[in-house]
Amino acid sequence: MQLESIMRIRLSKVPERLVSVRSGDYNIGKEEIYMKTGDMKKRTGKAGATVKEGVISSLKGLNEIEEEIVRLVRNTVSHVLKETRGVTGEGLSVTRDVIKGAITATEEVGTGLILSSKSVAKGIIKGVSDVGGDIITAASETAKNTVKEAATVGADVALVARRTLEGIIEATNEVGGNVEDVAKASVSGAIEAASAVGTTAVNAVKDVLLGVVEGAKELSSAALPKPGREKKR
């Protein structure tokens, strides 16, 4: 079974967490229409507490899902690269297959591309780092292929690019890589892919990624040229 298919099957099984309010905790009958102000506040407070608990539970669930995707992708990438060590271009092939598998999974589930793109990117960088691979090249390929595949399925390439870069930067920090060089490579890869979509996509990706890079404390101002200063030296 191809790596792309394996990734698609595994990621499609990640459970979807939805915020819900337990109906049994908050029921309002007709006789309560004329309830006193104090009772109304109590009811409102109870509803708020119920929603709060639901949101907290769901957010914890989302964190667990993201962590599981990172582990899955990381282990898959590192395992394949260890088995094919020395095979020219295998790292690029693995990156493409993993991204295709992940995006196909989100299509089947019907949601989650923007959410999962960060975790997938993070897992790829960590997996490549585990085997001593070139994370700069991996970052460029990850950004490029993610934007390319996102455009193919009609997703918002700017948002997907942003989440992908966030994942790449986080992973690079965690493995002790050169964040500035990785960010440059990622941005170049994303813009290259966006150029095949159109000028609007390129501009949207540039604007979004500029904000991500400037927001990363570990990056110097040289990571990306600031708007209106490209020609200044």
Closest Cα partner for 172 from 159, 162, 185? 185
* Band of pLDDT at residue 27, cut at 50, 70 and 90: very low
* CB proximity list for 96: less than 8 A, separation 6 or greater: 141, 145
Given a contact cutoff of 8 angstroms between Cβ atoms, the answer to whether 169 and 155 are in contact is no
Query: Sign of dihedral through CA atoms 5, 7, 10, 15?
Result: negative
Tell me how far apart the alpha carbons of residues 82 and 42 are, in angstroms, rounded to a whole number. Answer: 60
Q: Picking from 47-51, 145-149, 160-164, which range would have the lowest pLDDT averaged per residue? A: 47-51
Tell me how far apart the alpha carbons of residues 224 and 222 are, in angstroms, rounded to a whole number. Answer: 5
Chain-centre distance for alpha carbon 101: 14
Is residue 38 scored above 70 in pLDDT?
no
Provide the pLDDT for residue 215. 61
Query: Sign of dihedral through CA atoms 101, 128, 120, 184?
Result: negative
Q: Does the pTM of the predicted model rise above 0.85? A: no
Burial of 34-49, coded b for 16+ CB within 10 Å and e otherwise, reads eeeeeeeeeeeeeeee
Tell me how far apart the alpha carbons of residues 20 and 3 are, in angstroms, rounded to a whole number. Answer: 35
Provide the pLDDT for residue 14. 52
Given a contact cutoff of 8 angstroms between Cβ atoms, the answer to whether 136 and 103 are in contact is no
Counting residues of the chain whose pLDDT is more than 70, the rounded percentage is 69
Closest Cα partner for 187 from 127, 216, 156, 144? 144
Residue ranges of domains in the chain: 3-13+38-220
* Band of pLDDT at residue 214, cut at 50, 70 and 90: low
Mean pLDDT of the chain: 77
Which phi and psi (to 5°) does residue 230 adopt? Answer: -60, -35
